[in-house]
Amino acid sequence: MADAILVVNAGSSSIKFSVFVERAGTPELALRGHIEGLYTRAHFVAKDAAGKTASEKTWDAGTKLDHEGAVEYLAAFLRSELAELRLAGVGHRVVHGGLEYTKPVRVDAGVLAALEKFNPLAPLHQPNNLKPIRLLLERRPELPQVACFDTSFHRTQPPVAQRFALPDELHEAGVRRYGFHGLSYEYIASVLPQHDAKAAAGRAVVLHLGNGASMCAMEAGKSVASTMGFTAVDGLPMGTRCGSIDPGVILYLMDERGMDARAIEKLIYNQSGLLGVSGISSDMRTLLASKEPRAQLAVDLYLYRIRRELGSLAAALGGLDAIVFTAGIGENSAAIRERVCGDAAWLGVKLDADANKKGGPRISTAGSRVSVWVIPTNEELMIARHTRALLGAAAPAAVVSA
């Protein structure tokens, strides 16, 4: 009987999952899917490794499935679907590991309580990430669970990169730059040596451009700086998040517009970024296809911020050997990559236009001083690998009934 690892990424209204099966010592994707609309109209879909739909279900409008219902449905589905497999453990994506968790951890009640203390640091994500962990701990305490954090990869950053220029008391209380998208960056760092050994041992900037977007400066595969800070709203403009803004704007909104914390949260997380500037869409595809001046302005601003952050991260590294594009926009938009690379000509970037149109992996010319790559990220595989490693070869395996 082969071992399986379930990877879970629970958000506020959806649970994404993947099942990896151990083959020749490495986890291989067998199944992936999601349940969306947990508090509106729930929809479940599971696809096999080739992307073919294996199962699908839509609940009646008005049925609030919630996280508990979704975990129960998923457990029953996996029980029948994976009858031939042994569930060795569950790996969870957890946004915040604070300063303590510099690597993944096996979760018990004590660890869960420690992770709940980080809820105020990521109120929109952390409580939802932890819900399935709590449910499984209660119902299946013998099933090994591992939490993998988006912050861990950045704990190698030097102290100045993690510091705000605020009084020490606040820094000690945890008001500092944590950085996010760490599982994506860790995956890229793990495969970059196969593409470019020199860059992997040197200085690289990785652009994770998805709905959420950030950039990370790496030296010899370790994070030294990133655009996201205390929260995942910092840095680049994103689909609906504003990215860096003058903190004085927040004070102005409070004093002059009478906005409270919740109203500002909604503004900066859900109504800003590409959507806010364009007034049309948070989806880069829609904006690139639009002739509306505001859509073009949103794209121009997105690229302008990337251009400035790239200069800033190259300065933090003291030079640049490689650029890597990843995530939805980075992996799929040749137009955005072309403009980012054009803006980076001063750093020694020369784009190979044909290779870029084909999607890489290498999209810079042979003579480019900085090599440029398109590498699809795989956060789920990173979690599966961590989970496997932490369970160890002799981990107690629970018979499937997730």
Of 327 and 402, which CB lies nearer to ligand ADP in the complex structure?
327
Contact 273, 238 (CB under 8 A): yes
Side chain identity, residue 379: E
Residue given tokens 């589905």 in the structure block: 77
Determine the distance from the C-alpha atom of residue 2 to the mean position of all C-alpha atoms in its chain, rounded to a whole number.
29
Query: Residues with Cβ < 8 Å from 338, sequence gap 6 or more?
Result: 351, 353, 356
Query: At its nearest, how many Å lie between ligand ADP and the CB of residue 44?
Result: 18
Residues that bind ligand ADP (CB under 6 A): 210-212, 239, 283-285, 327-329, 332-333
DSSP state of 143: S
Query: At its nearest, how many Å lie between ligand ADP and the CB of residue 262?
Result: 23
Between the alpha carbon of residue 399 and those of residues 30, 135, 402, the distances in Å are: 18, 18, 8
Of 55 and 211, which CB lies nearer to ligand ADP in the complex structure?
211
**What is the bridge-based pairing of β-strands 322-326 and 105-106?**
unpaired
Contact 211, 238 (CB under 8 A): yes
**What is the bridge-based pairing of β-strands 213-219 and 105-106?**
unpaired
Rounded CA gap, 111 and 98, in Å?
12
Catalytic residue among 150, 196, 234, 352: 150
Query: At its nearest, how many Å lie between ligand ADP and the CB of residue 125?
Result: 12
Query: At its nearest, how many Å lie between ligand ADP and the CB of residue 239?
Result: 5
Residue among 224, 221, 188 nearest 202 (CA): 221
Of 239 and 243, which CB lies nearer to ligand ADP in the complex structure?
239
In the annotation, is 66 catalytic? no
Query: At its nearest, how many Å lie between ligand ADP and the CB of residue 273?
Result: 10
Rounded CA gap, 207 and 275, in Å?
20
Query: At its nearest, how many Å lie between ligand ADP and the CB of residue 257?
Result: 29
Tokens of 349: 């970037």
Residue among 236, 243, 301 nearest 269 (CA): 243
Query: Residues with Cβ < 8 Å from 302, sequence gap 6 or more?
Result: 236, 237, 274, 284, 336
Of 178 and 317, which CB lies nearer to ligand ADP in the complex structure?
178
